[in-house]
Amino acid sequence: MTDQLIIPDFGGTTASVDGRADAASAVGDTATAPEGSCTCGGGGGGRRKLAIICSKGNLDMAYPGLILANAAAGEGIEVHMFFTFWGFDIVNKATMGSLKFTFVGNTAMHPPGRFGMSMAQGLGGLPGMTTMATKMMRKQIADLDVPDVPEFLDLLQASGVNLWGCRMSADMMDLNRGDLHPGVRDIISATDFMELTVGAQLLFI
């Protein structure tokens, strides 16, 4: 299944952190639907758009956006992914391969196959529990033949999905485009993102 995975696309900038040309130009024709076409969430004769905002950097919060983007791209939908705040960890070279999972505060967490039995929240704070929970989740994901986050981003990039970093988050974390996965096309502002996703179906994760 890994050779069928695909990528999302998000936003443009008038002036990126590292001085690149504006993102709207970088996207080119992919960000502009044909005149008279429909870019709304459903129906119409034009190409649909999907905008996914990834705001969280935990392992369990990274995959929903990546998987939804892949599914949409496979359906021929124009996808934009916008990584902001802790979601920046998903595309940060220093962190994207080591995202973690903790069940602290997640009352839906239960041992594999034991539905109705929640993990005791107090256990989550014990030394080594985050490492154990992360290892367990990584194994479950790998058993389903789903790639790890860096490889998933590679596949999405190869599928033509546009990935965008949030300018304010980049400034907060003192990061530039060189610190990010090569599939990230630029670092853009929230305004640029809104301009590029007019009429798109929006998902906030």
Whether the per-residue pLDDT at 189 is higher than 70: the answer is: yes
Give the number of C-alpha atoms closer than 13 A to the C-alpha of residue 35, restricted to the C-beta side.
0
Scored b (16 or more CB within 10 A) or e, 139-178 reads: eebeeeebbbbbebbbbbbebebbbbbbbebbeebebbbe
- Using CA atoms, how far apart are residues 57 and 106, in angstroms rounded to an integer? 15
Q: 58: pLDDT confidence band, cut at 50, 70 and 90?
A: confident
Whether the per-residue pLDDT at 108 is higher than 50: the answer is: yes
Whether the per-residue pLDDT at 59 is higher than 60: the answer is: yes
* pLDDT tens digits, one per residue of 63-99: 999 999 999 999 999 999 999 999 999 999 999 988 8
Q: 159: pLDDT confidence band, cut at 50, 70 and 90?
A: confident
Q: Which helix (H) or strand (E) holds 194?
A: helix 190-196
Alpha helices in 2-99 (DSSP H): 23-27, 59-74
Q: Is the full-model pTM beyond 0.85?
A: no
Question: 166 vs 101, which has greater pLDDT?
Answer: 166
Question: CA triplet 102, 99, 181: central angle to 5 degrees?
Answer: 160
- Using CA atoms, how far apart are residues 93 and 184, in angstroms rounded to an integer? 11
Percent of the chain with pLDDT over 90: 42
What's the rounded mean pLDDT across residues 144-159?
90
Token pair listed for 36: 């008279």
Whether the per-residue pLDDT at 106 is higher than 50: the answer is: yes
